[in-house]
A and B are shown apart, each in its own frame.
Chain A
Amino acid sequence: MSVVTNPDAPTFRLDMLWRDERYRSGFIQAITMIILMLVVAWLVNNTVQNLAALGKDFNFSFLWQPAGYDINQQLIPYRSTDSNARAALVGIINTLVVAGLGCITATVLGIIAGVARLSKNWLIAKLMTVYVEGFRNVPVLLWILLTATVVNESLPAPRAFRDLETGAVVATNRGIYIPRPLFESGWLVLLIIAALSIAGAVLFSRYTKRHQEATGSQLPELGNAVRWIIAGTVGLISGVVIANVLFTLLSFTPLEEGNTIIVALGSAASLVLALAVVRWAANAQVAGLMIIILVVPTVVFYFLLGRPITLEYPTLQGFNFQGGIQLRDSLIALWLALSLYTGAFIAEIVRAGILSVSHGQSEAAFALGLRPNRTMKLVILPQALRVIVPPLISQFLNLTKNSSLAIAVGYMDATGTLGGITLNQTGREMECILLLMGFYLVLSLLISLVMNIYNSHVRLVER
């Protein structure tokens, strides 16, 4: 390094601040800093002056005063005499519930619709295009309002069930009632057994994978008879489920018009599903065995322990159904609208992801003799996932933020409690809105964080 350093350093001139590389960046940053601080000071000063002029103060003590209003959906106990802070907490939990449920269903819907849009079946591809374009191009607020109207107007009121035998699941326009599990002594043992079987299934799948990598054969090599038994079992289980759903729909929901259509659609769906299940199970014995590992011990011990978990069914008492878990109409409308809306976006992301995988990859997979399903699962999706995950994260964020539109259907989320009734009744706009923004900000950052960790996990490791 033979840089000639000038011993008598050049005298500092003012214009060097923005002409000289050495000073420029520091100078610009200092200016930015000063401007920023001035702006902040100005805003704070204005706020203080305005509040003083209105005789208002800025404090959060209202949070510990009684809220005075009731909330219908509460996952933690809450009464109207509890504090505003607790009301806000109830709302926050409700936000988390609808956002969590929405993210799951939106992903499922989006994957189905995205794959279906690429289906060779012309009709399905076109129908999915209609779905995707229809939902993407109409504001989500409008969809939420429309879904709420559909839920309220198409399902029957509880009164319609007065003289009917009702069963496990009841769909009314005040929500869908599902059985509530009642835990009696021994349920913990059962839970541990269930957890153990899950662990066993995971271990089993690892073992088969290693075995397959080592020997190339899927394990265990089973005879045709066993395969068909597995397929039959799985088909039977799904058949029973479908039959149950159909039965529930038919006998407990007095839909007079359209009953025949539901039967027709339901039978067609169950036929298709059963065919698919049989084929899938016949192909993937391992999966079938895993289901057996998962289900059999738990079921056996369930009866051995004397049925420690029973179900409480909803029954019509007075104005409403009592017992069971009520998924309120507002939750369902919001959940459905958000899932359908975000699902349309996710469908596009999935489609783009699949299309981004070079055509040669699927051709190579077919050449190796992989079936379309396995090609999708083993070749296309793992590669597509890297393209899919980052935009998927931002869709989850969007869904969470869009859940703040819950006030349109009367779902009491954080915006409805803290930013709604509490704000209205206390008149503390600044405190409430700042808290609300803080909550959403933290939530968004958390989701980003979790998903970024996952993202770095699936990212292609480059040389």
Chain B
Amino acid sequence: MKLLTLATATAVAGMVAATGAQAQTLQQVKDRGNLICGINTGLVGFAFTDAEGNWQGFDVAVCKAVAAAIFGDASKVEYKPLTGKTRFSALSSGEVDVLSRNSTWTFSRDTDLKLEFVGVNYYDGQGFIVPKALGVTSALELDGATICIQTGTTTELNLADYFRANNMSYEPVPIETESEAKQKFLANACDAYTTDASGLAASRSSYPTPTDYVILPEIISKEPLGPAVRQGDDDWGDVVRWVLNSLIVAEEYGVTKDNVEEMASAAGDKPEVNRLLGTEGEYGAMINLPADWAVKVISSVGNYGELFDEYLGPNTPVGLERGLNALYTDGGILYAPPFR
């Protein structure tokens, strides 16, 4: 019996970690030796497991980048798969340090839910996909249609607003996971499937005959997806924000996974790159990170463009174009504040 008590005590002690949920998240992460990152339980291109059982994806890469900035090691992340229901409470209760789970930055989430969105890593919008055989070319022709919705983000509300505004009726079929929703759509149990446009493209890529389906031109909402942290710990917010910005700036200045070590070896002729890579100024110290934090970030995950190409780009099964997510210099709206 004593052994049992001892076992329980040890087990509980091992699993109950006292954390101050409010401030000094950075220090806690450093003390703990890993970053706890909330991710999706599975979304094509953004979060999935590979054959070896490692988490991969565009959202997961943000976690890796933050870990690389802090520890110089992108593998020091503990992933917590979260559902639409559990994600915000997991963040606010301190269960995860950062939430990188395709969450839309909205007014009420930023204010009422006490979250802080540090930026946008993917500009998305809600769209529709329909079978070509249906002969529909515009979302406005969907009056009376049955529509499968992947729930969890703001999808249901956007859809309700859109159909009400256009005075159309529809039959909503809300499904929690992408895989189930897609299965229903492919079986023609719904006429159209709606979720973020990135999700639609990703979903279509995996259909047996992708060419039989079209994504309708209407984008009915703005979905800026980005990582979020708890409100009230600005220092930690800064770390995540600037890690995200460093990915974008790196692409802007052509700093890649391959050339980052070389560029960081000595100060070059571009002052902003020098400040990014820590060869000029004390920028790392300002956010309590090592001077070469950005070097570690880029050498371990690559810049924004490389990440996009790896998980979402035209050469992946997902096959997304950059679109809005191109740099502002290339016609997109990706625009990181300067490193100065």
Contacts and interface: CB of A to CB of B under 8 A. Distances in A.
Do chains A and B make direct contact within the complex (CB under 8 angstroms)? yes
Interface of A: 50, 53-56, 68-72, 79-81, 145, 148-149, 152-153, 157, 159, 173-174, 317-320, 322, 329-330, 407-410, 412, 416, 420-421, 423-425, 427, 429
Contacts of A174: 146, 171, 189-190
A429 B87 CA distance: 11
A318 B143 contact: yes
25 contacts: A53-B22, A55-B114, A68-B156, A68-B157, A68-B161, A69-B157, A70-B160, A70-B172, A80-B161, A148-B180, A153-B187, A174-B146, A318-B144, A318-B145, A319-B145, A320-B191, A322-B144, A329-B189, A410-B174, A420-B85, A421-B151, A425-B154, A427-B112, A429-B85, A429-B89
Given A69-B159, A427-B108, 7 more contacts: A68-B157, A69-B160, A70-B159, A80-B164, A410-B180, A420-B174, A424-B84
B211 to A, nearest CB: 19
A332 to B, nearest CB: 11
A54 B114 contact: yes
A319 B172 contact: no
Contacts of A145: 180
B173 interface: yes
A70 B173 contact: no
B114 A421 contact: no
B176 A157 contact: no
Contact of A159 (B112, B161, B163, B188): B188
Given A149-B183, A425-B157, A320 B151 contact: no
A70 B144 contact: no
Contacts of B146: 174, 319-320
Interface of B: 21-22, 84-85, 88-89, 92-93, 108-109, 112-114, 133-134, 142-146, 151-152, 154, 156-157, 159-161, 163-164, 170-176, 180, 183-184, 187-191, 231
B188 A330 contact: no
B175 A423 contact: no
Contacts of A53: 21-22
A329 B175 CA distance: 13
A409 B164 CA distance: 25
B176 to A, nearest CB: 6
A68 B187 contact: no
A323 to B, nearest CB: 12
A416 B151 CA distance: 10
A278 B180 CA distance: 47
A319 B145 CA distance: 5
Interface hub of B92, B112, B174, B183 (most chain A Cβ within 10 A) = B174
A410 B164 contact: no
Contacts of B108: 427
Contacts of A71: 172
Contact of B187 (A81, A152, A318, A409): A152
A322 B164 CA distance: 20
Given A318-B143, A427-B112, A157 B189 contact: yes
B157 A330 contact: no
B157 to A, nearest CB: 4
Interface hub of B163, B188, B231 (most chain A Cβ within 10 A) = B188
B144 A317 contact: yes
A159 B151 CA distance: 26
A421 B180 CA distance: 17
A410 B22 CA distance: 36
A72 B183 contact: no
B188 A173 contact: yes
**Which 7 interchain pairs have the tightest Cβ spacing?**
A157-B188, A80-B160, A69-B156, A152-B187, A319-B145, A318-B144, A68-B157
B327 to A, nearest CB: 33
B216 to A, nearest CB: 14
Contacts of A408: 176, 180
B156 A70 contact: yes
A72 B173 contact: yes
A54 B115 CA distance: 10
Contacts of B144: 317-320, 322
B277 to A, nearest CB: 38
B112 A152 contact: no
Contacts of A407: 176
Nearest to A71: B172
Contact of A54 (B92, B160, B161, B173): B92
Contacts of A173: 187-189
Nearest to A151: B189
B172 A72 contact: yes
A423 B189 contact: no
A157 B131 CA distance: 13
B108 to A, nearest CB: 8
Contacts of A318: 143-145
A420 B152 CA distance: 9
B181 to A, nearest CB: 8
Contact of B170 (A70, A152, A317, A330): A70
A319 B160 contact: no
Contacts of A322: 144
B175 A410 contact: yes
Interface hub of B93, B144, B157, B164 (most chain A Cβ within 10 A) = B157
A53 B114 CA distance: 11
A80 B112 CA distance: 21
B172 to A, nearest CB: 5
Nearest to B151: A421
A305 B172 CA distance: 40
Nearest to A173: B189
A181 B164 CA distance: 29
B114 A320 contact: no
A71 B154 CA distance: 15
B114 A424 contact: no
Given A72-B171, A412-B174, A424 B164 contact: no
B326 to A, nearest CB: 31
A423 B157 contact: no
Contacts of B160: 68-70, 80
B144 to A, nearest CB: 4
B177 to A, nearest CB: 9
B220 to A, nearest CB: 14
Nearest to B109: A427
Contact of B173 (A69, A159, A330): A330
Contacts of A56: 114
Nearest to B89: A429
A157 B187 contact: yes
A80 B158 CA distance: 11
A423 to B, nearest CB: 6
Nearest to A330: B173
A162 to B, nearest CB: 11
Nearest to A62: B112
Contacts of B163: 70
A424 B22 CA distance: 23
Nearest to A156: B188
B113 A427 contact: yes
Contacts of A429: 85, 89
B145 A421 contact: no
